[in-house]
């Protein structure tokens, strides 16, 4: 089955700096890679996703890149703000009806 590894586990940046979170996946058949943001005590919510036929996708300050050959994808947040502080999960989907999450990255944005 799919295995998703995510790093770093914790990331601390200064407000205005960029943050990059990386994930690798094991199943080359994976075709959908979402990123979820979870604030403390709240539910995970999708912030951006990418499908396997696309190399990069941007939405304002966030972007995701996918390297299918290397089987890794990354989340990029530019001009970070304190409200970006949260736990970010990458996920992989291969088929069937389950999405496998990475272990999460706790992002701290210092004002």
Partner 1 sequence: AAGVIQSPRHLIKEKRETATLKCYPIPRHDTVYWYQQGPGQDPQFLISFYEKMQSDKGSIPDRFSAQQFSDYHSELNMSSLELGDSALYFCASSLTELAGASNTGELFFGEGSRLTVL
Q: Applying CB under 8 A, which residues contact partner 1? A: 31-32, 34, 36, 42-46, 49, 51, 89, 93, 95-104
Run of H or E residues at 47:
strand 45-51
Closer to partner 1 by Cβ: residue 13 or 101 = 101
Closer to partner 1 by Cβ: residue 14 or 45 = 45
Shortest distance in whole angstroms from residue 61 CB to partner 1 = 20
C-alpha 73/C-alpha 67 separation (Å) is 6
Q: Are strands 10-14 and 105-110 parallel, antiparallel or unpaired?
A: parallel
Closer to partner 1 by Cβ: residue 50 or 77 = 50
Shortest distance in whole angstroms from residue 79 CB to partner 1 = 25
C-alpha 102/C-alpha 91 separation (Å) is 6
Shortest distance in whole angstroms from residue 106 CB to partner 1 = 9
C-alpha 7/C-alpha 40 separation (Å) is 19
């Amino acid at each position: 089955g799919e295995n998703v590894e995510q790093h770093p586990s914790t990331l601390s940046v200064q407000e205005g700096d960029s943050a990059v979170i990386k994930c690798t996946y094991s199943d080359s058949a994976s075709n959908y890679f979402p990123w979820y943001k979870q604030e403390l005590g709240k539910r995970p919510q999708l912030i951006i996703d990418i499908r396997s036929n696309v190399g990069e996708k941007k939405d304002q300050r966030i972007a995701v890149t996918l390297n299918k050959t290397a089987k890794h994808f990354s989340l990029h947040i530019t001009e970070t703000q304190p409200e970006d502080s949260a736990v970010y999960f990458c996920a992989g989907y291969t088929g069937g009806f389950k999405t496998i999450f990475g272990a999460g990255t706790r992002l701290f944005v210092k004002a």
